[in-house]
Amino acid sequence: MKKITGLPIITCGDEEYIEEEPFVTDSSSKAFTFVQGLAADLQQGEIELPAFPDVVKRLQIILVDPNSSAKDVVEVIAVDPILTTRLMKMANSAALNPKGIKIENLGSAISRLGFNLVRSTATAYAMNQMQKQEELAPIRGQLLDIWKSSNNVAAICYVISKNVLRRRPDEAVLAGLLHQIGRLYILVHAHTTNPGLLNDDEYLDVVETWQAGIGRHILESWTLPEPICDAIATQDSLLDEDEKEDEPDAAEPTSLARLLSAATLRQRLSSDPRIRQLHPNVDDLMQTVEIDGVNFLDAIVANHDAIESMQQTLSA
């Protein structure tokens, strides 16, 4: 696979996605070189998520196989009582089982949830378990931030997709939970191989530039649906909206991509103090975001209770 100016071309389906020029101007910076190396490894198929529980790694392999059955998934998950319990709770939760039909075994839980929600639950479980590992204790705060952000964004995406857009909430929640998988990948690799990078002055800017593309490549390797890959890759598109108005050939984002971008931006406004410094008009932008003709913030208010219920379900 070729490269342009040292940056990767990342594919998803039949399309190619070229990483944008980094914020940093010094391409010899340690952080830039490190993340560029990770991207090169990904291009060669070397994808390793350090500290992910073995059961989640095995589950990803099973879910990638188009010939896998629900029975195969049950056999992988059943060896982990904690993940099994989480899936049972999800399948019986008010958010995902509003009629209250009792689910009493793992096979029935997987059938009710579907593979996308099973993958979502396993991913949330993996991120939660990573916080408990002693070798990752120095970055526990950052892991917790990623976990909370992912849950919050996923809850919004699920509820708005289900109640407002009325399309594929299983894909929407998975996109929300995985929207920071690239950031997680960079963080854990940096901590385990070169922890000094986390104090590099340019680390945050480099991560902001590369995390979406790296995340997309990871998800492509898991053969996730193309709309999810696209949404992850363009999760910051709202911040570039003014620039893209001047591009006559700019592709119109899908509803899922726009929903994820809106939910991500809303989350960053509540957790990232740099966002308003870098984008002074971001609050005005947030007020005007529409998805399929519906004002995003109005939809949030109208579905507040359902979103809160889903957040609790994902965090349980």
- So what's the pLDDT on residue 42? 79
Q: What is the mean pLDDT of the chain?
A: 84
The Cα 259–Cα 134 span in angstroms is 36
Q: What is the pLDDT of residue 29?
A: 78
CB 151 within 8 A of CB 157: no
Residue 21 pLDDT: 42
- pLDDT, tens digit, 9 for 90 and up, residues 20-51: 444 333 445 788 888 888 888 777 776 777 67
List domains and CATH numbers for the chain.
3-51+133-315 (1.10.3210)
DSSP code of residue 237: G
Residues of the chain with pLDDT under 70: 1-28, 46, 50, 242-252
Angle, CA 136 vertex, CA 220 and CA 270 arms, to 5°: 70
Length in residues, the chain? 316
pLDDT in tens, 179-197: 999 999 999 989 988 888 8
